[in-house]
Amino acid sequence: MRDTAATSAQPAMIVMSIWCSSLSLSSRSLAIALVICVTLVYFSYSFNACLLASISRSLQQSNLRNLLALTSSPRNETNNAANSSSSNSSSSRNSSSTTGAPPAQTVTSSLDGAPKYQLLRQQGLRPSRHLPDTLIIGVKKSGTRALLEFIRLHPDVRAAGSEVHFFDRHYQRGLRWYRHHMPYTIEGQITMEKTPSYFVTKEVPQRVYHMNPATKLLIVVRDPVTRAISDYTQAASKKADMKLFEQLAFVNGSYSVVDTNWGPVKIGVYARYLERWLLYFPLSQLLFISGERLIMDPAYEIGRVQDFLGLKRVVTEKHFYFNATKGFPCLFKSEARSTPHCLGKTKGRNHPHIDPGAIERLREFYRPFNNKFYQLTGINFAWP
Ligand code: A3P
């Protein structure tokens, strides 16, 4: 870089020396000319050096951001993921919480030796763990894993691989514990976490608000009847002697009274839970993603998410293909794998046959709650 700058300063020196030698000057004039000459050379050199340094630094930063996104312990995170149960500017990113959050934690000495971190340190970039800027709070069995896996294709999004359950199960462990479960990020990257049970747990809205009232919230929702069947299918896959869906969803064996205490039914009353969140967060901080559309047109929904997060639209149609055998969109490559693949076998299961009479009764049950939800969100999801 120095050689380049010096080379670019040479023409100025040559011109000045020709000019100086062609004039017969008194020694005083000659001294002044020499001072001007040296000053010009100095400024020319400094300008070129600065310009080249700045170009080189921005190129390296962008390469390193991709490097960090692509190489940070992807396999562990994805394995955890497969096993788990279930203002739009970048200025707010990597910020500590507003209420007593511990400061960001930089890479510890045990990691310092890793070539990736050495490279980052050489560039003056210290990766550190931050509390999340964005949470996927639910809704369970609506496509939350698909959303996370799709959005984390973006080089400016880094996510905790498994569900941390901080705000519902581990709150007493404190924010320092929570931050320790976050991935390393560099400046400008968004930290994200998904735990679908946050949406329905009473204390969580207030706790998230206390961590950071500017937290952005992503919520995937799908037809509550399909969601309930999906929830049941997952539970039945873990318990051999599970009763039939129809026996669990209704009281007294007939379809007249819906069992609203049964989890898979209860969670589908979205309006009830949303009202709690709206006590703490304005609607503008919430983004609702259609679970149905996430399957039919993932690029469209991920486009909306990128806009909402103030990100460049990097994840597009070219990242997805439809796997006819599985019946779901899959990825050409991801953080973890460079070959085409679908989500794990626990996502996109075959559902058992449910009596159409039971389905119709459940649709009738949900209709007023769905309408209330459309009213609160300002979106008509058109569930049957
Ligand atoms: P099923 O397995 O019952 O079909 P969650 O990740 O919140 O647990 O949601 C799981 C649901 O995500 C799946 O339920 C499936 O319908 C849905 N889904 C959405 N996109 C998917 C995808 N690309 N691959 C697999 N499942 C997907």
Q: Residue-wise pLDDT tens for the chain (384 aa)?
A: 334 334 444 544 444 454 445 444 456 666 676 766 566 656 555 555 544 454 445 445 554 454 454 444 333 333 333 333 333 334 345 444 444 455 566 554 444 455 655 666 667 778 999 999 999 999 999 999 999 999 999 999 999 989 999 999 999 999 999 999 999 999 999 999 999 999 999 999 999 999 999 999 999 999 999 999 999 999 999 999 999 999 999 998 899 999 999 999 999 999 999 999 999 999 999 999 999 999 999 999 999 999 999 999 999 999 999 999 999 999 999 878 899 999 999 999 999 999 999 999 999 999 999 999 999 999 999 999
Strand partners, 189: none
- CA–centroid distance, 167 to ligand 1, in Å, is 23
Tracing tokens 């896996």 back to the chain, one arrives at: 149
Task: Please name the residue whose Cα sits nearest to atom 17 of ligand 1.
Answer: 143
Closest ligand 1 atom, CA of 138? 7
Task: Please name the residue whose Cα sits nearest to atom 19 of ligand 1.
Answer: 143
Alpha helices in the chain (DSSP H): 2-22, 27-71, 74-83, 109-112, 115-122, 144-151, 174-180, 204-211, 224-238, 245-249, 263-266, 270-278, 291-296, 298-308, 356-377
Supply the pLDDT for residue 105: 61
Is 131 in contact with 214 (CB distance < 8 Å)?
no
- Count of alpha carbons within 13 Å of 264, Cβ hemisphere only? 21
- CA–centroid distance, 52 to ligand 1, in Å, is 49
Is 347 annotated for ligand binding? yes
The ligand 1 site (C-beta within 6 Å) comprises: 86, 140-146, 196, 230, 233, 294-295, 328-329, 342-343, 347-349
- CA–centroid distance, 328 to ligand 1, in Å, is 8
Is 339 annotated for ligand binding? no
Three-state DSSP state, 242: coil
Task: Please name the residue whose Cα sits nearest to atom 8 of ligand 1.
Answer: 141
Residue ranges per domain, the chain? 2-70, 87-377
User: What six digits make up the tokens of 144?
Assistant: 């939350």
Q: Which residues, including other chains, have CB under 8 Å from residue 173's CB and lie 6 or more apart?
A: 166
- CA–centroid distance, 194 to ligand 1, in Å, is 14
The Cα–Cα gap between 193 and 180 comes to 12
Q: Which residues, including other chains, have CB under 8 Å from residue 96's CB and lie 6 or more apart?
A: 102, 103, 104, 130, 131
The Cα–Cα gap between 251 and 31 comes to 103
Task: Please name the residue whose Cα sits nearest to atom 11 of ligand 1.
Answer: 143
- Mutational pocket test of ligand 1: of 135, 197, 315, 347, the residue with most ligand atoms within 8 Å of the beta carbon: 347
Q: Which residues of 134-157 are buried (b: 16+ CB within 10 A; e: fewer)?
A: bbbbbbbbbbbbbbbbbbbbbbbb
Supply the pLDDT for residue 259: 98
- Mutational pocket test of ligand 1: of 139, 145, 225, 245, the residue with most ligand atoms within 8 Å of the beta carbon: 145
- CA–centroid distance, 376 to ligand 1, in Å, is 25
* DSSP label at residue 350: P
Supply the pLDDT for residue 82: 33
Supply the pLDDT for residue 161: 84
Is 143 annotated for ligand binding? yes
Supply the pLDDT for residue 31: 67
Three-state DSSP state, 257: strand
Q: Which residues, including other chains, have CB under 8 Å from residue 350's CB and lie 6 or more apart?
A: 233
Q: Which residues, including other chains, have CB under 8 Å from residue 74's CB and lie 6 or more apart?
A: 334, 335, 336
Is 2 annotated for ligand binding? no
Q: Which residues, including other chains, have CB under 8 Å from residue 343's CB and lie 6 or more apart?
A: 145, 146, 149, 328, 330
Is 348 annotated for ligand binding? yes
The Cα–Cα gap between 313 and 306 comes to 6
Query: In the CATH scheme, what is the code of domain 87-377?
Result: 3.40.50.300
Catalytically active residues are 141
The Cα–Cα gap between 20 and 32 comes to 10
Task: Encode 71-90 in three state secondary structure.
Answer: HCCHHHHHHHHHHCCCCCCH
Distance of CA 99 to CAs 20, 165, 199, Å? 66, 20, 22
Supply the pLDDT for residue 228: 98
Q: What is the rounded radius of gyration, in angstroms, for the C-alpha atoms of the chain?
A: 29
What is the distance of C-alpha 184 from the center of its chain? 13
Supply the pLDDT for residue 18: 46
Distance of CA 178 to CAs 138, 215, 380, Å? 19, 15, 36
In the chain, the largest separation of any two C-alpha atoms, in whole Å, equals 114
